[in-house]
């Protein structure tokens, strides 16, 4: 099964790598995918603080924290256990067209960590809607397009991101919220 996934991953990556968009589009998409390095969350936090106030922002950040901790813990455990080579290392003619943030490929941290955060923000701020989920998914798929991840890295990152959110949400509901509930009433 893993060999079939690896074979499909390579075929899919080769297709994307040989069917490029224009250089202008690639340049814009490189900048967009860099938002997945975490920069966009500062802007979203500022917007939440302006629209809903600093107390609500504090509550959202408190909800995000356990999901992010769960995501980072799972991420490093899986990343250092799997030690999967990146496409640009496995396929000689490939180059990393955006900088990878660490050594190994599986799972996609751009997908996993950002999805754990996005899902938590979506729960707290439903008006954010599909945008919160679309951001990490597009960042993940662009990492495949730019040769630093396999498609299965993004799918694994998606599943682990949802798991991280679920773990973080349970911790928030049963461990953190009871301790801080009085602070957020008011």
Give the pLDDT band of residue 129 (cuts 50, 70, 90). Answer: confident
Res. 183: pLDDT tops 90: no
Res. 126: pLDDT tops 60: yes
What tens digit of pLDDT does each residue of 98-123 get?
Answer: 989 889 999 999 999 999 999 999 99
pLDDT computed for residue 185 by the predictor: 66
Closest C-alpha among 184, 89, 100 to residue 142? 100
pLDDT computed for residue 26 by the predictor: 94
pLDDT computed for residue 131 by the predictor: 84
Distances (CA, A) of 66 to 14, 128, 155: 37, 20, 22
pLDDT computed for residue 47 by the predictor: 92
Domain boundaries along the sequence of the chain: 23-184
Res. 136: pLDDT tops 80: yes
What tens digit of pLDDT does each residue of 45-83 get?
Answer: 999 999 999 999 999 999 999 999 999 999 999 999 999
pLDDT computed for residue 38 by the predictor: 84
pLDDT computed for residue 1 by the predictor: 80
Res. 181: pLDDT tops 80: no
């Amino acid at each position: 099964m893993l060999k079939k996934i690896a074979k499909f991953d390579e075929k899919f990556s080769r297709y994307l790598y040989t069917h490029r968009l224009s250089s202008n589009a690639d340049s814009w998409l490189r900048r967009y995918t860099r938002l997945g390095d975490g920069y966009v969350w500062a802007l979203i936090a500022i917007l939440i603080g302006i629209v809903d106030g600093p107390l609500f922002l504090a509550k959202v950040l408190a909800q995000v924290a356990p999901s992010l901790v769960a995501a980072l813990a799972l991420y490093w455990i899986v990343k250092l256990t799997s030690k999967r080579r990146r496409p640009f290392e496995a396929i000689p003619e490939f180059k990393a067209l955006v900088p990878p943030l660490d050594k190994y490929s599986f799972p996609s941290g751009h997908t996993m960590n950002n999805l754990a955060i996005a899902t938590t923000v979506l729960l707290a701020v439903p008006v954010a809607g599909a945008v919160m989920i679309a951001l990490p998914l597009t960042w993940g798929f662009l990492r495949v397009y730019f040769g630093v991840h396999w498609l299965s890295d993004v799918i694994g990152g998606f599943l682990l991101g949802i798991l991280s959110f679920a773990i973080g949400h349970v911790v928030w509901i049963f461990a953190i919220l009871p301790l801080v509930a009085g602070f957020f009433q008011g």
